[in-house]
Amino acid sequence: MRMIHAAALAGALALSGCIDVDMTATIEGADQATVNGHMIVQRQMLDMMGGGEAFCPADEGGTLTTTDTEARCDVMTSGSFAEVFEGEPGEPTPTATDLGDGTVRVVFPVGQMGADTEEMRNDPQMAQMMRPMLEGHSFTIRLAGAEIVSTNGEISEDGTSASYTFQLVDILNPEVQLPETFEAVIRY
């Protein structure tokens, strides 16, 4: 599954409060990346979406596992940056740029998620209804490689990955300021 497809889907579902996301894009070369991770959604939401193929397309590297209460899509795909980060028209799309010195700059737009929740935050009744659905759910994007040279995210102890995580309930806070982008310069 292309990372942007997964992130866009996750962003939309995150607004409904019923998904956890943990995705990693590993930069493996000047124009090669692997995306792996998972998304978990409540089973009844999967059914409302029209089933597993809409949530977890097998032809895009998704493997769906369901129980009575939840559906989990495990994702594993690799290819060129264009293949892995390709987005649908109108979607904010990550970019990966080879800097020519053994590093790649990856920029992942996260600010749009905050903008998409403004209406919900400004409606006290909607916010009150959504709070229990959002509590306990998180959204994590991780960028990895041989070394993280710089980032506006959190660098792992071994210095090989940077992550950006937020708890979904935080989007109800009117003062929440999601960064416009999560980015990193990664040595491959």
- Render pLDDT for 127-158 as a digit per residue (tens, 0 to 9): 788 788 788 888 899 999 999 999 999 999 99
In three-state secondary structure terms, 174 is coil
Q: Rounded distance, CA 114 to CA 118, Å? A: 7
Q: How confident is the model at residue 16 (pLDDT cuts 50, 70, 90)?
A: low
Mean pLDDT of 48-76: 86
Give the integer Cα–Cα distance in Å for 158 and 148.
9
Phi, psi values for residue 171, rounded to 5°: -70, -15
Instruction: Choose the most confident range, by mean pLDDT, from 23-37, 47-61, 88-102, 114-128.
Output: 23-37
54, burial (CB in 10 Å: exposed 0-12, middle 13-18, buried 19+) = exposed
This prediction has a pTM of 0.83
On whether the CB atoms of residues 170 and 176 are closer than 8 A, the answer is yes
